[in-house]
Amino acid sequence: AQSVAQPEDQVNVAEGNPLTVKCTYSVSGNPYLFWYVQYPNRGLQFLLKYITGDNLVKGSYGFEAEFNKSQTSFHLKKPSALVSDSALYFCAVRSRGGGNKLTFGTGTQLKVEL
Amino acid sequence: DTAVSQTPKYLVTQMGNDKSIKCEQNLGHDTMYWYKQDSKKFLKIMFSYNNKELIINETVPNRFSPKSPDKAHLNLHINSLELGDSAVYFCASSPGPPGQETQYFGPGTRLLVL
C-alpha cells in the first residue's frame, strides 16, 4: 500500500523568509510525487511533480521540491514567502509499479504573515 | 474557457433525497475522477474512468453511482443522502490513467445534507 505523511497541520512563516512544507512517503518501488495547492473555496492546482532525473524539481510560483530517496521525502520549499502563498498544500504519491490510484496527504495549511 | 467545470457549485438537500453532480472537461483528457474532501480537508479518491471505463472504484457505499456518457463527462449520482455525505466533491481529469499524469481539478461542489 502507498501512503503519504504531512507531519505539520500548519506552518507559519513571515513574508520574505524561506518556507518548507514537509512530506514523506511510502510506496513499493519508485514513486511519482506531486505537490498541489488549494486556495480557499477553490479546487486543487498543480504545483510540481517528480518523475525521474534531477532530484530538485522546480514548479509554479517559485516553488521547488527535492526528492530524497534515502529519506523517502519530497519537501516543498520556496526561498522567499509571499502573503499570497497562504493556502492548503497537498503532497501526493503514486507507485510506478502499478495500480491506478494517486494517494494524497492530509494537507498542510501555510500561513504567511507580514 | 473553464477546463474542468462542475454543477452545481452548492447543493443543500434533505436526508433521504437523491441528487446528481455533473462534471465536464474540455481538455480532451481520457481520464476523469471523483474525489471527496471532508470537513478536515482530507481528500480521498472515489472513482475514476478512463475512456468511459471504470478503473478505480474505492470502498464507497453503493448509494454512489458514477456515470460517464462520454470521455468529456463524468457525473455522480447519490441515492438516499445521509448526513455523513456532507462534503466537498471534486471532479478532476488527466490526459491518461494515473501515473505521471498531472490531474486538473474542478472548483468543487459543496454538498450539505440536512
Do A9 and A109 meet the contact criterion of CB atoms below 8 Å apart? Answer: yes
For residue A27 the three cell numbers come to 510506496
> What are the counts of helices (DSSP H) followed by strands (DSSP E) for chain A?
0, 12
CA distance B69 to B71: 7
pLDDT at A98: 59
Per-residue model confidence (pLDDT) at position B112: 97
Phi, psi of B79 (to 5 degrees): -95, 155
* SS3 state of residue B84: helix
Tell whether A45 is within 8 A of chain B (Cβ). yes
For residue A100, the model assigns a pLDDT of 65
3-state secondary structure of A76: strand
Confidence at residue A2, expressed as pLDDT on a 0 to 100 scale: 86
CATH of B4-113, one of 3.40.50.720, 2.60.40.10, 2.120.10.30, 3.90.1720.10: 2.60.40.10
The answer to whether residues A49 and A32 touch, using CB atoms and an 8 Å cutoff, is yes
**Distance (Å, rounded) from C-alpha A31 to C-alpha B111?**
33
pLDDT at residue A41, rounded to an integer = 86
pLDDT at position B85 is 96
- Closest-CA residue of A relative to B107 is A43
Q: Which of A71, A102, A24, A3 is nearest to B46 (CA)?
A: A102
Q: What is the mean pLDDT of each run of 10 residues along chain A (114 residues)?
A: 93 98 92 94 93 92 95 97 97 77 93 96
A10 touches chain B (CB under 8 A): no
Residue B85 backbone phi and psi in degrees, to 5 = -80, -10
What is the predicted pLDDT for the residue at B1? 60
List, run by run, the mean pLDDT of 10-residue segments along chain B (114 residues): 89 97 96 94 91 84 93 96 96 84 93 97
Domain with residue A29: its CATH number is 2.60.40.10
Name residue B87's beta-bridge partners: B111
Q: Which of A100, A106, A109 to mutate to test the interface with B (most CBs of B within 10 A)?
A: A100
Contacts of A38 in chain B (CB under 8 A): 41
Range of the domain at A51: 3-113
Asked if A31 has any chain B CB less than 8 Å from its own CB, the reply is no
pLDDT of residue B70: 92
Task: Write down the domain spans for chain B.
Answer: 4-113
Give the number of domains in chain A.
1
Per-residue exposure over A64-83, b if at least 16 CB sit within 10 Å of its own CB, e if not:
bbbbeeeebbbbbebeebee
Query: In Å, how far are A77, A78, A93, B77, B91 from B10, measured between CA atoms?
Result: 34, 34, 30, 15, 14
Instruction: Report CA torsion sign: B95, B97, A28, A88.
Output: positive
Residue linked to cell 505537490? A35
